[in-house]
Structure 1
Amino acid sequence: MKITRIEAVPYSIPYRKALKFASGEVTVADHVLIRVHTDEGIIGVADTPPRPYTYGETQQSIVAVVERIFAPALTGIDPFERSKAQQVLGRTIGNNTAKGGIDIALWDIIGQATVTPVSTLLGGYTDSMRVSHMLGFASAQELLDEALHMRADYGITTFKLKVGRRPLGLDIEACHVLRAGLGEDVDLYLDANRGWTANEALEVLRQTADVGLSLLEEPCDAKEALSRRRLVDKSPIPVVGDESVPTPGDVSRELLAGGCNAISIKTARSGFTEAQQILGLCEGLGVDVVMGNQIDTQIGTLATVTFGAAFAATTRRAGELSNFLDMSDDLLAEPLVIRDGVIPTRRVPGVGAVIDDDKLDRYRQDKD
């Protein structure tokens, strides 16, 4: 089997409700659908989310690098030759989500060709993932109302609160209001998206010591090496690396330098192949992981569930899997369902992301 063609289809679907956080705001899913075609008629599918404020990628840059650089170099390669494909992709610096999308699409082809779910190929640990929901910037009462709705309607009992780049008092108040309103049986953790200094993060931790927070994600910029190391040393809870650790090399650097002591794995930026390498590093060093979210569509969320359910270590914590609920529509022919706080894997060959072509035609941005 050989790769014959790679498509990068830009599309745009608005959100019903914007997600606001320290490093940006998302109102529209301006994503790129990746489709890798083969000479046997099997097509691998993946989704790529541009995040210019995090990785520097835009919708236009993803289309350009896939069509002009990756597609010509990968055409003619057997999709099973994943290491060869990784070497080809690695010749180009950056472009994390474009590379990750192609890698997921290749795994999708392999699963279809072997008539095996990709989650089984990766490890097959379990058949579902518990769901964590991200809460964006809003008043404390609005955040509590949203969390109560997510628990009542979807059974979600883990919440990540976006904080940073606003008065500390608002974030501290939100932590206390959420804990008081949700009770002790709900897991709460924070993500500052590099929006604090290390001293600000320590002050928030001091004033929320009685809240029972479980994680603190990317509190300050990794370039603040000394202060971040001091924060990790003093923090009573794990400090999670996210934007600072998109590749295995970055993970090694931050863990060994003491810049974090837990890692967010995001398949949208690492694909499945590098995500395995990152997971192996973390397991070998005894470091906790959480399956993160790039404000993914249902296609991207399904990829996260596929990988996360494959390993014991990635199922110990709930994965960030629910923010597609804020989108006005999606491209999946069979929508994802959150029930009793979990999303199941798809027990079909490949990843299981079947695209509704009518919807793709409606939302694609490259129509003549």
Structure 2
Amino acid sequence: MKITSIETKHYVLPLDPPFKASWDPNPRTKFSQTVVFVHTDEGITGIGSSDLKMGFEGYEHLFIGQDPFAIERHSQVLDNIDFHSGRPWPIDLALWDIMGKATGLPVYKLLGARTNKLLAYASTGEIISPEERAERALAFIDQGFKAMKIRFHHDNPKDDIKVVEAVRRAVGDKLEIMVDANQGWKMPADTDGTWDLKMAYQVAKELEELNVYWLEEPLPSHQFEMMAKLRDMVGIRIAGGEMNRNWYDYREMNRIQALDVYQPDVVLSGGITQIKKVAEMVQGSGAWFSPHTWTNGIGMLANLHLAVAISHCPYVEFPYDPPIWSNNRRDFVQSEQLMIDSDGYLTAPEKPGLGIELDEAALKQYEVK
């Protein structure tokens, strides 16, 4: 089997009403998605995706005529492209999709198949009042969720903590609560300051009292030593690493034991090929691997396959904050939307490859020519 061509297409879904993401100063009036199609001479096409990426065009020739199963070779080339251009990792996802389709197996079985499902935590995105967040938390319980994540980004962290207090009062011990401090990285328009070690410590101690499961991204993502100090100072789990770009960031964080939970996303860094190695490294040192999945439905699927295959963490992230961030927005190019079962589990598809089913009508409607 040989790769014959690679197509990159871009799609944009208008958002009305806008999505006011806690990590973005600007309300989002559209949701952009790039989908790559890797075609082979045996009629198998692999699919990968990310948010809007414009940096891969011009490198297709490095893969044409190559065996899609030569995944270590391709991963090295993609790593080189990542240095010189945009994040090219959807190609890695598409290659794993091809390998699954060619062997007749879902990707998670090629990766280890530790299980085929994990409990999903509802990963929220908006900053809303404590009362409304508590109401939505109760709705999560009714849907079967066993855990949720609350985003911080008020000007005063005390106002963020009030949200957690309201949710804990409402749900008792029926939900585990994770918190994302949103301090690890910034959107282009965000010029506000970030927490220092003392602020992160004070917030972490408050959250310990509320029995929060983990505190995510409490410090800038490059401050490895500060995160290690914070981890040693508090009892709550410290999570992070969702947007770190290079595999050697994770090697260094693992060396100094900076985190309890590592969250690299196969769409944003390393693809399935490299992040599997990162996950095995950190889990071998006693930490958890639980990937960031907030790109789109295809990215969610790819991370799910790796997580169920090898993760020791009992939870996987499920981007979900209805009514404003719903499955039909997240999965708008797919004909089958992802959702938990009544027991709160998210199950990997049994179809060969990643199990992606595209909505042809949506592709025609939302493609950017």
Question: Quick one: which of 317, 335, 350 aligns to 1:347?
Answer: 350
Question: Counterparts in 2 of 1:45-64, with a 5 A limit?
Answer: 45-49=47-51, 59=52, 62-63=53-54
Quick check: 1:131 aligned with 2:132?
A: no
Uncovered stretches (5+) of structure 2, i.e. residues with no partner: 184-193
Matches of 1:205 and 1:75, distance apart in 2: 50
Q: Is the 8 A contact 1:31 1:47 kept in 2?
A: yes
Q: What is the DSSP-based 3-state SS (H/G/I as helix, E as strand, rest coil) of the residue aligned with 1:172?
A: helix
Q: Is the 8 A contact 2:157 2:203 kept in 1?
A: yes
Instruction: Give the paired residue count.
Output: 350
Q: What is the DSSP-based 3-state SS (H/G/I as helix, E as strand, rest coil) of the residue aligned with 2:208?
A: coil
Going from structure 1 to structure 2, the CA distance change for 1:155 and 1:322 (only over 3 Å counts) comes to same
Matches of 1:297 and 1:129, distance apart in 2: 18
Quick check: 1:93 aligned with 2:94?
A: no
Q: Is the 8 A contact 1:308 1:319 kept in 2?
A: no
TM-score scaled to structure 2, two decimals?
Answer: 0.87
Matches of 1:259 and 1:82, distance apart in 2: 30
Going from structure 1 to structure 2, the CA distance change for 1:260 and 1:127 (only over 3 Å counts) comes to closer
**TM superposition shift of 1:27:** 4.5
Moved more, 6-15 or 218-227: 218-227
Question: Counterparts in 2 of 1:325-364, with a 5 A limit?
Answer: 325=326, 327-328=328-329, 330-340=332-342, 341-364=344-367
Quick check: 1:30 aligned with 2:32?
A: yes
Q: Deviations over 1:124-168 (max 9, x none)?
A: 12222221112231111121122222221x311211111135211
Q: Is the 8 A contact 1:6 1:67 kept in 2?
A: no
**TM superposition shift of 1:260:** 2.7
The one-letter amino acid paired with 1:234 is: M
Identity, % of aligned positions = 25
Partner of 2:260: 261
Moved more, 131-140 or 218-227: 218-227
**TM superposition shift of 1:169:** 1.5
**TM superposition shift of 1:327:** 4.5
Matches of 1:218 and 1:273, distance apart in 2: 24
Larger helix share, 1 or 2: 1
**TM superposition shift of 1:96:** 9.2
CA RMSD of aligned residues (A): 2.3
Partner of 2:131: 141
Question: Counterparts in 2 of 1:319-330, with a 5 A limit?
Answer: 319-322=317-320, 325=326, 327-328=328-329, 330=332
The one-letter amino acid paired with 1:317 is: Y
Matches of 1:186 and 1:343, distance apart in 2: 16
Partner of 1:162: 151
Matches of 1:332 and 1:326, distance apart in 2: 10
Q: What is the DSSP-based 3-state SS (H/G/I as helix, E as strand, rest coil) of the residue aligned with 2:19?
A: strand
Quick check: 1:293 aligned with 2:296?
A: no
Q: What is the DSSP-based 3-state SS (H/G/I as helix, E as strand, rest coil) of the residue aligned with 1:37?
A: strand
Quick check: 1:279 aligned with 2:279?
A: yes
Q: Deviations over 1:306-349 (max 9, x none)?
A: 221112525x2243354662554611122223222222211111
Matches of 2:328 and 2:28, distance apart in 1: 10
Moved more, 132-141 or 259-268: 259-268
The one-letter amino acid paired with 1:22 is: W
**TM superposition shift of 1:12:** 0.9
Question: Counterparts in 2 of 1:179-258, with a 5 A limit?
Answer: 179-194=168-183, 195-224=194-223, 227-243=226-242, 245-258=244-257
Going from structure 1 to structure 2, the CA distance change for 1:213 and 1:101 (only over 3 Å counts) comes to same
Uncovered stretches (5+) of structure 1, i.e. residues with no partner: 50-58
Going from structure 1 to structure 2, the CA distance change for 1:359 and 1:165 (only over 3 Å counts) comes to same
Matches of 2:3 and 2:20, distance apart in 1: 37
**TM superposition shift of 1:222:** 3.5
Q: What is the DSSP-based 3-state SS (H/G/I as helix, E as strand, rest coil) of the residue aligned with 1:132?
A: strand
Partner of 1:20: 21
Matches of 1:96 and 1:141, distance apart in 2: 44
Going from structure 1 to structure 2, the CA distance change for 1:26 and 1:243 (only over 3 Å counts) comes to farther
Going from structure 1 to structure 2, the CA distance change for 1:239 and 1:76 (only over 3 Å counts) comes to same
Q: Deviations over 1:55-108 (max 9, x none)?
A: xxxx3xx23x32212x12111111000011112112223489843211010000
Going from structure 1 to structure 2, the CA distance change for 1:348 and 1:222 (only over 3 Å counts) comes to closer
Partner of 1:303: 302
**TM superposition shift of 1:245:** 3.3
Matches of 1:191 and 1:96, distance apart in 2: 29
Going from structure 1 to structure 2, the CA distance change for 1:13 and 1:121 (only over 3 Å counts) comes to same
Partner of 1:53: none
